[in-house]
Amino acid sequence: MPSLAPRSSARPIVRRTRRPSVLRFGDVPVTTPSEFTEALAGGNFDRLIGTAESNWLDFKLTGYAMQDVNSAKLSAKGRWELCKDVAELANQHGGYLVLGVNTEKQPTVGIEVASQIRPIRIDLINIEAYRAVVRSGVYPAVRDLRLKWYFENSGTANDKGLLLIDVPPQSDTDRPFVVRQMYNDDLGKETGAVGIPVRNGDQTDWYSAERIHHRINAAEQGPSGPPNTPVGGASPHEIDANAQADERLQHIEDVQDWADDPIYFLQALPPDPVDELPGFYGATGVAQTLLRPASLRPGGFNLSGFGQGEWLEGALVVRRMDDAAAWLDPNGMFSIGVAAGPAFLGWGINPGWQPGKPIRINSVTLVEFTLEVCRFVHYALRPHKESPGWSYRLRCVRFKESVVSLGPGAPRKVPLPRYPVEQGATSDTWEKRVGGLDDPSTEAFRVLSAFYGLFALGEDDIPFRKGDRIDEVAVRDITG
């Protein structure tokens, strides 16, 4: 058998970075919303220096753009930016916009941090005009929106200060909040399109087409009802979780440019898709385990050859050249995509293969890699979110049209000539859910059983099987 040691290389992904909500710098102890408002109320503006922007905090150096210097009316771009900033906090759990604070991006952590207090002349901002813009530009109405000036010397008159725009937590029945008019910077005008922004660390994300479609489709398929009741067979959290899972697979496919390739996707889905894993970020955080994963055998088909990784939309993304990519979200959702090509799933058994030709899957590669994914979920992620509700989602696309085949047992370099031992894929879209179990060897076996069903093969055809589990000792002893 040819060597089963995969090539190891990585190509960087340059994307936006998200980190913990607030960082400490020096002796500045502002780490919570209550401490933040206490600093403002007491006029202790110096305490804000070093505070990082986050899911609940956004700094602005100046007021929003006006039509001209002599007008209290906001420009089209100013109206859009104000509505976007308020709506994205309303779509989270509320938060603060603070005008009059300059920020700098910290190169070591990649996020905006308050660097300088620059109080704004209060006569340059019309608070009532701001309220009117938000009332007309965000739907539904943001409840209990509050705007208030704060001054360096609390309780004294001053013509300059920091303007706080307080967006309180909103009702679940009102979310998501929609910006009525999007703005096109190139055209310099509003477009008539709408958008749904969400705060993601110090950045703004927008609902994708997939997520919007999920919400519309679920609402139209099921009866209306009170919040947090089943809609179209799923709760709002389940709908959002399914949309997020779909988005991740689509993102992997887009980043890897796999629109025409057969792909094996495997996702580990956490029991609570809302909560972030404790200690996800940081030099010793959960995400770092993906960069240094434990493996059964050095040089095997595992996660250790995926490179140093990059941050994308708050998640850690790593990939192995053009044939595999992994996406770890802060809530613990772990998404893997592997191309069914000769460099990975077809390793060593497709001599002379060229694009467009049929592809044979190396079952040893398949089993080892699936087991290593389950081991990573079990040992690196589950301890931080203990619950029996974990599950796996298997999704295979374009296997039949790409003439992908799989045989029973360990692979042969050349198929037996007298009769076919390999089976072709029976479908182009194959999706199965596997409930989380107690140990990775059993979980991997269940996932592989579902995968083998795509080729009309049974559990007895899976190599390294030992009862209802994969034999880790046998995988560790792979040679050749």
In eight-state DSSP terms, residue 364 is: H
Provide the pLDDT for residue 9: 41
Q: What angle do CA 118, 119, 122 make, to 5 degrees?
A: 150
Torsion-angle region of residue 201: left (phi > 0), alpha (psi -120 to 50) or beta? left
Torsion-angle region of residue 43: left (phi > 0), alpha (psi -120 to 50) or beta? left
Task: Please tell me whether the overall predicted TM-score, pTM, comes out greater than 0.95 for this model.
Answer: no
Provide the pLDDT for residue 218: 59
Cβ atoms 62, 84 nearer than 8 A: no
In eight-state DSSP terms, residue 381 is: I
Provide the pLDDT for residue 388: 67
Cβ atoms 40, 162 nearer than 8 A: yes
**Cα 288 from Cα 198, distance rounded (Å):** 25
Amino acid at 327: W
76-90 vs 127-137: helix axis angle to the nearest 10? Answer: 70
Q: CB count, 10 Å around CB of 246? A: 18
Provide the pLDDT for residue 7: 41
- For the chain, list the domains and their CATH numbers: 33-201 (3.30.950), 245-476 (no CATH)
Provide the pLDDT for residue 246: 87
Phi, psi of 388 (to 5 degrees): -80, 0
Provide the pLDDT for residue 26: 39
Ordered per-residue pLDDT tens for the chain, 480 residues:
344 444 444 433 333 333 333 333 334 447 678 888 888 988 889 889 988 888 889 999 999 998 876 667 899 999 999 999 999 999 887 899 999 999 998 776 668 889 999 999 998 999 999 999 999 999 999 999 999 999 986 555 678 999 999 999 888 788 899 999 999 888 888 888 999 998 877 788 888 776 787 667 656 554 433 333 333 444 444 546 677 888 889 888 888 888 889 999 999 998 876 678 888 888 788 888 998 888 898 888 888 877 778 888 788 998 887 789 999 999 899 999 999 988 889 988 888 888 888 999 999 999 999 999 999 999 999 888 766 678 999 999 999 999 999 999 887 654 444 445 688 999 989 999 988 767 899 999 999 999 999 999 999 999 999 999 999 999 998 865
**Cα 373 from Cα 412, distance rounded (Å):** 25
| Helix (H) / strand (E) containing 133 | helix 127-137
| Helix (H) / strand (E) containing 250 | helix 236-256
Amino acid at 386: E
